Structure 1
Amino acid sequence: MSALDRRRFLRGTLLGAGAAGTLAASTGSSADEATSSAGAAPVFHGRHQNGILPEPSRHTAIAAFDVIAGTPGELRDLLRTLTDRLRRLTTGGTPTPVGITAPPEDSGVLGPEPPGGVRSVVGVGASLFDERFGLAARKPAALTPMREFPNDDLDSAQCHGDLSLQLSAEHPDTVLHALRDLARHTRGGMQLRWRVDGFTSPPRPDGAPRNLMGFKDGTANPDPADSAEMDRLVWARPEPEWTAGGSYQVIRLIRMLVEFWDRISVNEQELIFGRRRDSGAPLDGSREADAPDYRLDPAGAVVPLSSHIRMANPRTPDTDAHRILRRSYNYDRGIDEVGDLDMGLVFTCFQQDPARQFEQVQTRLVDEPLTDYIAPFGGGYFFALPGVRDESDHLGRSLLADL
């Protein structure tokens, strides 16, 4: 098939699939509901995408894609199709009958009436703003390719991408059903570049979920219910104007060298993190929710100056603006080529400006003791697009206006 024929096929397929998805899906309309807790039924429409603020769902798939659409119009068709399918995957609905000889509209993985329940985040990478679509002048002001930091061991095949996609739900088959649906309906518009599946554990026994090093993860997050804090730390400044309602997402794939970690004492592990493993409390506290008071421990006699929590968040007036909304998942990919366990953390975070926030935190963490037991190998920086306001809107509409 020639490039021109492929593009014509793409346009017809995307438009047809998008229309079918829109007619078949039911929708919600409350922007407030779109930012509700992970256990509540997600709502698709809202000022922000519905996968950013809620606590992590039990299962997720995070993937990056190279866009192979050839024109701004084909890119718009791709984003419309993503919107229509994600709306359907969020709200559920009976698949449209297609006749006896046609392939079924749905894979059937979730039965005859897929229930919905998917949360999602779609982002754009810096590479989308090259010469292909005439978008260079519209690139979000703080969007750059992901930096490589000291102690990283990045694999180029598992880094960056034109588009990012995160799908989250309470059951793994719901996530896989959504991924297959989107892969089918966007075939010809984008090509998978890398993918990783993640999961969160239930509280054990309570509080934040634990990572695969056994420590609670995300205890010191800012409160997503505090709209003023989210405006200050998470939602992007409208630079340019079309970015209002979006956020910058950092994704880091971090292998944990668990077989080495499991050979050191719990006391040493706690000194590395600065928290008690069992309770999650800082070493100068007694409960997980206690805030460490570094003013009473200036030399690090209790919470070492080199501990992860102290380096990541020194809790000074100058570093308060560096805080991020952390959203992390565990991963397990079996074994590597030499038979070692391949597991770790899918670290994601949302912020107003990666250079001001994530990169400041990550720079402080260079050469921390924890680096002996982790190996960041992939990920990327992406701009999470503004939400879809209503049935007439679609992801990236304001980005592609007038093109």
Structure 2
Amino acid sequence: MTLARRAFLRGAAAAGVGAGLSGLAGSAAAEDAAGAVPFHGPRQAAVLAEPARHSVVAAFDVIAQDRTELTELLRALTDRARFLTSGGPPAALGITGPPADSGVLGPEVPGGALSVLVGAGATLFDERFGLAARKPPKLKPMPTFPDDALDPQWCHGDLSLVLNCAEPDTALHALRDIARATRGGMQLRWKIDGFSSPPRPSGTPRNLLGFKDGTANPEPAERDRLVWTGDGGSYQVIRLIRMLVEFWDRVSLAEQENMIGRRRDTGAPLDGEAESDAPRYGQDPVGTVVPLTSHIRLANPRTAQTDGERILRRSVNYDRGVDSNGNLDMGLVFTCYQRDLERQFETVQGRLAGEPLTDYVSPFGGGYFHLFPGVTDPADHYGRALLG
């Protein structure tokens, strides 16, 4: 079994290298295309990209049997991600075997149409691969918070994968490609499809509660101290949050806005005029205008003491249809990035415990992961420094 799996991974990696080089040669300027996210670099640059129209957020269980197989898995995953993001014609494998590509996107994979993020969960550092001493210092399994209703089938994972693109078939194509190339080394644990709406009428996209989501993210100059870890990675939090929209839609607009702390139409704080206005909490110490229990005030009190607790949010919406009771099953795939899980996300989460909004949202899944440092060049691969 182990030999067969290793042979499969070696074959997938070899095919990936051929396809990746073909794609790079066939579209030399792919990474410079409008809107494209560079694949190579010291960090995974897709963290900084604005939410795409379509995405897939997934976690995998690693089934590689030892460290050698894990290395082959990560090489294969890197090769496929490199090719899928740079684009080009699939490798020619002859007429006797299955085609190298599903053909969903046509005879040639478009360059610059996809970005990829890959992270490692705490369970990757158990006894299987001898990596316990190399676990990122702040990485741990995501705990259950007071207002959670977590389903174990939708939680955690050895590896995380986030695919972002403009069209749904691009995400579908990439997931199929990666799953096929890595089948001997990892298998899907859970996955959810996401989407982001265009700004209406302007500014930040809205979530399915109707409010803008992602306002007041850290500015670029602040990201070195708030987002990136010293090795070029970042701690990733994924939270799958169901929104009880039928109940929310029965709440008055004034009550909705007081729970959020912003105007629904403009995204402005309740004491401001525009989405970009900073709320003036110092002039409203008892919460007369922006309630003390509002989401934005609890999440970011805007004090010198809480400045280092901010996170970079990159959330998208999801729609899974109808549940067994006939209720709409939709909500938010909340994703954020930071240097320190406890100091940032968990501290913010502690302030939000019991907020009025918890009556209308129900977190059911997700996990903590640490993004690998970037893939620096064609000879590099995800996790190379980790694996030695």
Q: 1:76 to 1:29 in 2, by over 3 A?
A: farther
Of residues 35, 48, 54 in structure 2, which corresponds to 1:53?
Answer: 48
Of residues 226, 235, 244 in structure 2, which corresponds to 1:233?
Answer: 226
Q: How does 1:3-402 map to 2 (within 5 A)?
A: 3-26=1-24, 40-116=35-111, 117-223=113-219, 225-226=220-221, 229-237=222-230, 244-401=231-388
Q: 1:97 to 1:110 in 2, by over 3 A?
A: same
Q: Could you tell me the TM-score, scaled by structure 1's length?
A: 0.93
Alignment gaps of 5+ in structure 1 = 238-243
Task: Judge conservation of contact 1:50–1:120 (CA < 8 Å) in 2.
Answer: no
Q: What SS does the aligned partner of 1:25 have?
A: helix
Task: Judge conservation of contact 1:29–1:43 (CA < 8 Å) in 2.
Answer: no
Once the two structures are superposed, what CA deviation does each residue of 1:250-291 show, in whole Å capped at 9, x if it has no partner? 000000000000001101100000000001000000111000
Q: What SS does the aligned partner of 1:52 have?
A: helix
**CA positional deviation for 1:57:** 1.0
Aligned partners of 1:166 and 1:207: how far apart in 2?
Answer: 24
Aligned partners of 1:29 and 1:326: how far apart in 2?
Answer: 32
Aligned partners of 2:2 and 2:101: how far apart in 1?
Answer: 29
Residue matched to 1:240: none
Aligned partners of 2:20 and 2:259: how far apart in 1?
Answer: 51
Once the two structures are superposed, what CA deviation does each residue of 1:322-354 show, in whole Å capped at 9, x if it has no partner? 000000000000001111000000000000011
**CA positional deviation for 1:18:** 3.2
Aligned partners of 1:7 and 1:113: how far apart in 2?
Answer: 29
Task: Judge conservation of contact 2:117–2:162 (CA < 8 Å) in 1.
Answer: yes
- Specify the code of the residue in structure 2 equivalent to 1:174: T
Aligned partners of 2:357 and 2:275: how far apart in 1?
Answer: 20
Aligned partners of 1:362 and 1:14: how far apart in 2?
Answer: 41
Q: What SS does the aligned partner of 2:385 have?
A: coil
Aligned partners of 2:139 and 2:92: how far apart in 1?
Answer: 43
Q: What SS does the aligned partner of 2:147 have?
A: coil
Q: 1:18 to 1:99 in 2, by over 3 A?
A: closer
Aligned partners of 2:330 and 2:324: how far apart in 1?
Answer: 13
**CA positional deviation for 1:29:** 10
Aligned partners of 1:372 and 1:39: how far apart in 2?
Answer: 42
**CA positional deviation for 1:16:** 2.5
Aligned partners of 1:294 and 1:89: how far apart in 2?
Answer: 46
Task: Judge conservation of contact 2:235–2:370 (CA < 8 Å) in 1.
Answer: yes
Task: Judge conservation of contact 1:200–1:329 (CA < 8 Å) in 2.
Answer: yes
Once the two structures are superposed, what CA deviation does each residue of 1:352-385 show, in whole Å capped at 9, x if it has no partner? 0111100000000000000000000000000000
Aligned partners of 1:39 and 1:217: how far apart in 2?
Answer: 25
Moved more, 97-106 or 61-70: 97-106
Once the two structures are superposed, what CA deviation does each residue of 1:193-220 show, in whole Å capped at 9, x if it has no partner? 0001101000100000000000000111
Q: Could you tell me the TM-score, scaled by structure 2's length?
A: 0.96
Task: Judge conservation of contact 2:10–2:72 (CA < 8 Å) in 1.
Answer: no
Q: What SS does the aligned partner of 2:384 have?
A: coil
Once the two structures are superposed, what CA deviation does each residue of 1:180-201 show, in whole Å capped at 9, x if it has no partner? 1101101111010000110100
Aligned partners of 1:82 and 1:373: how far apart in 2?
Answer: 38
Task: Judge conservation of contact 1:335–1:342 (CA < 8 Å) in 2.
Answer: yes
Task: Judge conservation of contact 1:29–1:45 (CA < 8 Å) in 2.
Answer: no
**CA positional deviation for 1:39:** 6.0
Task: Judge conservation of contact 2:290–2:297 (CA < 8 Å) in 1.
Answer: yes
Aligned partners of 1:127 and 1:39: how far apart in 2?
Answer: 38
Q: How many residues align?
A: 386
Aligned partners of 2:379 and 2:242: how far apart in 1?
Answer: 42
The alignment yields a C-alpha RMSD, in angstroms, of 1.8
Aligned partners of 2:135 and 2:94: how far apart in 1?
Answer: 44
Q: 1:139 to 1:82 in 2, by over 3 A?
A: same
Q: What SS does the aligned partner of 2:314 have?
A: strand
- Specify the code of the residue in structure 1 equivalent to 2:22: A
- Specify the code of the residue in structure 2 equivalent to 1:233: L
Alignment gaps of 5+ in structure 2 = none
